[in-house]
Amino acid sequence: MKSIQEAEKKISQCEHVFQKQEQLSQSILTSSLVDILYRRYELCKRKLDCTEQFRL
């Protein structure tokens, strides 16, 4: 019985830690960071398009 309670307590602690990590990861990817990443993606895409046209 005691081991079941200890296991439940450990599971609860792990869930709490997981929730904290989720909140941290969501706050790291702010909209400005996503915007910067999107701009870089678009820039790389344009460079690739130019490179492909040059080869043709």
Domain ranges of the chain: 2-55
| Helix extents (H) in 1-56 | 2-28, 31-55
Q: What does the pLDDT average to over 12-29?
A: 82
Query: What is d(CA 36, CA 34) in angstroms, rounded to the nearest whole number?
Result: 5
- Tokens at 9, concatenated: 């307590």
- Residue pLDDT, tens place only, 23-52: 777 766 677 787 888 999 999 998 888 888
pTM: 0.45
pLDDT the model gives residue 40: 93
pLDDT the model gives residue 42: 93
